[in-house]
């Protein structure tokens, strides 16, 4: 399927006739439409859905109006009563073995009493009465209405998928629609109705009363389920509105320095702690400076003194040794003379003395003794020289710490000086505090209602099974005719078979869906190690994420951007699983994504989302580098803007030019 052209006539803000060429090609699959909020951007998506699906469109399902009221609201204001609203959508799709051009024209006018509407379908410019008469069936063969939200969606639907509770509801609806499980569920309901009619043809009063009581209770619980679901929708809407209010107040609060006011107590405590640390560091610095640290300035000279002292120590030892030798030599000579020793002995003693003196003189050669340092001082000098490098390193570390703390204190003082007085922001502070309080209460109420809804759904399932069981008992005990009994019994068996078939169908295909979604997410995020496995629980349709170690990763542990990319991956994965070549239309595609994750979408999703991608963007989304990147893949670009003078939205070529 490839969209070619959309024509809007007196539809919403589009007064008069407006044509948009939707064509793209294989190398440039993107059509980019820009518009300010409220200018008519979303109206384009609504128009295409209404033209294709009418009452079954997602746009109408989300509106709390009757169909005639809904259509009347779309007729442009200031249009005369005779003028009609019209939507024309043309597209190409294979038909009877060839590519055919389809044009769907849907028009309506207010008659005063109601709405007069008409839909015509042209194939290759020829009105086809058969396709016109069976249009719902025909378009469902291309893309069923229940699956259209997978291909035509907006930022709000992406945000809903970020929340676990709404994500489960969406996944259940999308997967059951994708696998055709809705048909199984409808068949089960039809069989229950058939079973009831047949079973109650021959029943006792007691059985009838028992069954009716059970059915009444089941009906009451079903109503409670619906009421609770509606209440949850209302609460989530309130949360969204309150979040928007909080966002506006917070933006103004922070722009006036409110964030600094919030951090004031923390900053003051941190300042006191840093000042305490700085005082301690200064004490250590003074201690080091008053110790041996100054000696590092003359450490080379001290090393020379140490070497000289060592030499003098050796020299003094040699001198003492020489003196000792001279005394011993004199004693030996006197002793030899007294005993009448020969001249040879005396000569030998003399030569020995000369030899020792030469050896000692050799050691003393070149050594000057001028320090005359006590021997006890030398070890102290050596220890000091060893300590100087460690002391110097410790001193540098202390000075570095001092510099870092000085910088932090300077920054903190600047923040504290810029902190406004609490009275100046009192109104905004109170609004913000109240908004947080309201959101907290709403979140608690949502959780309470969700728990209640889970219990009611469980009770509803139990009562449904009980009704079926009572019908079966009634049939087996009271059916008087063999055909009726056989019909009821086969109906009961069929219901059980359908229940088992539904479970097996889910089990068979969930793995494939999980693989597609995980593949899409990993392609978008480029963090293969973040999520290793993705599973969908068959009973609750909850998504379970695990890492390589097999540990479950709670969704809240993902960043807001990562959760939104996961939501996009769910849409993309289910699109792949549908195996339908359908264009993708996204309204407000980037939502509240941060710059890093926006870049992921622009580079890794939009150019590859489908063979034709229509993006409806605000002037705050696809701009700057994002526009430069996406422009490589853009075939056509338009800007829509509301003209106050003509009171109509205008469509111009080019993107925000």
pLDDT of residue 90: 97
Reply yes or no on whether the pLDDT at 598 is more than 70: yes
Of the pLDDT bands very low, low, confident and very high (cuts 50, 70, 90), residue 37 is confident
In a domain, 333, yes or no: yes
In a domain, 385, yes or no: yes
Residue 288 CA to residue 283 CA, distance in Å, equals 9
Under a CB-based contact definition with an 8 Å cutoff, are residues 16 and 40 in contact? no
Mean of pLDDT over the chain: 81
In a domain, 355, yes or no: yes
In a domain, 645, yes or no: no
Q: Which of 133-147, 159-173, 599-613 has the lowest mean pLDDT?
A: 159-173
User: What are the strands, taking DSSP E only, across 22-164?
Assistant: 30-35, 85-95, 98-110, 115-123, 126-127, 152-154
Q: Which of 93-107, 309-323, 594-608 has the lowest mean pLDDT?
A: 309-323
In a domain, 204, yes or no: no
In three-state secondary structure terms, 31 is strand
pLDDT of residue 18: 94
pLDDT of residue 478: 47
User: Which of these, 219, 192, 188, 218, lies nearest to 472 by C-alpha position?
Assistant: 192
Supply the range of the domain harboring residue 349.
266-407
In a domain, 606, yes or no: no
pLDDT of residue 126: 95
Of the pLDDT bands very low, low, confident and very high (cuts 50, 70, 90), residue 20 is very high
User: Which of these, 539, 533, 541, 604, lies nearest to 568 by C-alpha position?
Assistant: 604
User: Which of these, 467, 571, 472, 561, lies nearest to 516 by C-alpha position?
Assistant: 571
- SS3 of 222-260: the string is HHHHHHHHHHHHHHHHHHHHHHHHHHHHHHHHHHCCHHH
pLDDT of residue 317: 66
In a domain, 384, yes or no: yes
| Most confident range, picked from 50-54, 441-445, 534-538 | 50-54
Of the pLDDT bands very low, low, confident and very high (cuts 50, 70, 90), residue 186 is low
Under a CB-based contact definition with an 8 Å cutoff, are residues 232 and 456 in contact? no
Of the pLDDT bands very low, low, confident and very high (cuts 50, 70, 90), residue 479 is very low
Reply yes or no on whether the pLDDT at 320 is more than 60: yes
Residue 151 CA to residue 507 CA, distance in Å, equals 24
Residue 20 CA to residue 32 CA, distance in Å, equals 11
pLDDT of residue 471: 63
Residue 612 CA to residue 634 CA, distance in Å, equals 10
Query: Measured between alpha carbons, how far is residue 592 from residues 154, 555, 589 in Å?
Result: 12, 17, 9
Q: Any residues with CB less than 8 A from the CB of 314 and at least 6 apart, and which?
A: 363, 367
Reply yes or no on whether the pLDDT at 405 is more than 50: yes
Mean pLDDT value across residues 282-287: 89
Q: Any residues with CB less than 8 A from the CB of 133 and at least 6 apart, and which?
A: none
Q: Which residue has the higher pLDDT, 490 or 360?
A: 360
pLDDT digits (tens, 9 = 90+) for 540-593: 778 888 888 888 888 778 887 888 888 889 889 988 888 889 999 999 888 767
pLDDT of residue 346: 61
Of the pLDDT bands very low, low, confident and very high (cuts 50, 70, 90), residue 480 is very low
Please return the burial class of 623, using the count of CB atoms within 10 Å of its CB with bins 0-12, 13-18 and 19+: middle
| Most confident range, picked from 130-134, 363-367, 551-555 | 130-134
For the chain, what is the domain count? 1
pLDDT of residue 460: 86
Query: Measured between alpha carbons, how far is residue 437 from residues 17, 176, 252, 556 in Å?
Result: 49, 38, 19, 21
Q: Which residue has the higher pLDDT, 216 or 352?
A: 216
> Considering the chain, what percentage of its residues have pLDDT values greater than 90?
23
In three-state secondary structure terms, 376 is coil
pLDDT digits (tens, 9 = 90+) for 197-215: 655 555 566 766 777 788 7
Q: Which helix (H) or strand (E) holds 545?
A: strand 543-546
pLDDT digits (tens, 9 = 90+) for 64-119: 788 999 999 999 887 665 679 999 999 999 998 899 999 999 999 988 788 999 99
Reply yes or no on whether the pLDDT at 619 is more than 80: yes
pLDDT of residue 645: 77
In three-state secondary structure terms, 146 is helix
Residue 5 CA to residue 7 CA, distance in Å, equals 7
Mean pLDDT value across residues 624-648: 88
The DSSP 8-state label assigned to residue 113 in this structure reads S
In a domain, 602, yes or no: no
pTM of the model: 0.57
Count Cβ neighbours within 10 Å for each residue of 489-522 and write b for 16 or more, e otherwise: bebbebbeeeeeebeeebeeebeebbebbbebbb
């Amino acid at each position: 399927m490839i969209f070619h052209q959309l024509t809007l006539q007196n539809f919403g803000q589009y007064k008069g006739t407006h044509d948009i060429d939707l064509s793209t090609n294989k190398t440039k699959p993107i059509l980019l439409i820009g518009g300010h909020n409220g200018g008519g951007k979303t109206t384009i998506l609504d128009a295409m859905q209404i033209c294709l699906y009418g009452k079954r469109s997602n746009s109408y399902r989300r509106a709390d109006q009757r169909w005639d009221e809904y259509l009347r609201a779309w007729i442009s204001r200031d249009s005369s009563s005779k003028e009609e609203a019209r939507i024309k959508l043309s597209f190409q799709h294979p038909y009877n073995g060839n590519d055919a051009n389809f044009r769907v024209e849907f028009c309506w006018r207010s008659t005063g009493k109601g709405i007069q509407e008409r839909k015509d379908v042209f194939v290759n410019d020829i009105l086809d009465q058969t396709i016109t008469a069976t249009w719902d069936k025909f378009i469902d063969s291309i893309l069923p209405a229940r699956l259209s939200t997978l291909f035509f969606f907006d930022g709000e639907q992406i945000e809903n998928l970020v929340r676990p509770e709404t994500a489960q509801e969406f996944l259940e609806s999308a997967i059951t629609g994708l696998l055709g499980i809705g048909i199984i569920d409808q068949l089960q309901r039809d069989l229950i109705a058939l079973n009831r009619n047949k079973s109650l043809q021959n029943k006792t009063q007691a059985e009838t009363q028992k069954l009716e009581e059970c059915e009444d209770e089941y009906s009451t619980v079903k109503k409670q389920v619906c009421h609770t679901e509606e209440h949850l929708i209302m609460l989530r809407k309130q949360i969204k509105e309150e979040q928007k209010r909080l966002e506006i107040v917070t933006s103004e609060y922070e722009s006036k320095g409110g964030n600094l006011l919030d951090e004031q107590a923390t900053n003051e405590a941190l300042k006191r702690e840093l000042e305490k640390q700085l005082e301690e560091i200064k004490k250590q610095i003074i201690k080091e400076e008053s110790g041996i640290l100054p000696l590092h300035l003359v450490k080379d000279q001290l090393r020379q003194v140490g070497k000289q002292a060592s030499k003098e120590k050796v020299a003094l030892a040699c001198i003492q040794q020489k003196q000792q030798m001279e005394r011993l030599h004199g004693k030996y000579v006197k002793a030899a003379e007294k005993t009448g020793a020969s001249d040879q002995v005396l000569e030998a003693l003399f030569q020995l003395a000369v030899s020792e003196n030469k050896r000692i003189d050799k050691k003393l050669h070149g050594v000057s003794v001028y320090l005359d340092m006590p021997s006890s001082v030398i070890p102290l000098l050596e220890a000091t020289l060893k300590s100087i490098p460690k002391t110097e390193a410790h001193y540098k570390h202390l000075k570095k710490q001092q510099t870092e703390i000085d910088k932090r204190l300077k920054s903190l003082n600047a923040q504290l000086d810029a902190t406004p007085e609490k009275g100046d922001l009192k109104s905004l502070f109170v609004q913000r505090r109240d908004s947080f309080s309201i959101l907290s209460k709403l979140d608690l109420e949502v959780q309470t209602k969700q728990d209640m809804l889970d219990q009611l759904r469980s009770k509803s399932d139990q009562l449904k099974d009980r009704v079926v069981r009572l019908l079966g008992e009634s049939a087996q005990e009271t059916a008087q005719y063999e055909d009726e009994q056989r019909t009821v019994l086969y109906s009961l068996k069929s219901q059980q078979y359908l229940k088992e078939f539904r479970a097996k169908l889910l089990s068979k295909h969930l793995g494939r869906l999980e693989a597609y979604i995980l593949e899409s997410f990993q392609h978008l995020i480029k963090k293969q190690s973040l999520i290793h496995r993705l599973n969908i629980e068959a009973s609750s349709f909850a998504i379970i994420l695990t890492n390589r170690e097999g540990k479950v990763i709670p969704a809240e542990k993902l960043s807001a951007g990562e959760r939104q990319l996961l939501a996009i991956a769910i849409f993309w994965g289910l699109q792949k699983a549908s195996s339908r070549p359908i264009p993708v239309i996204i309204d407000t595609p980037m939502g509240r994504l941060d710059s890093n994750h926006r870049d992921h979408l622009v580079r890794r999703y939009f150019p590859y989302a489908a063979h034709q991608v229509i993006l409806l963007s605000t002037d705050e989304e696809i701009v700057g580098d994002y526009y430069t990147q996406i422009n490589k893949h853009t075939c056509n670009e338009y800007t829509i803007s509301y003209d106050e003078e003509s009171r109509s939205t205008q469509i111009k070529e080019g993107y925000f030019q």
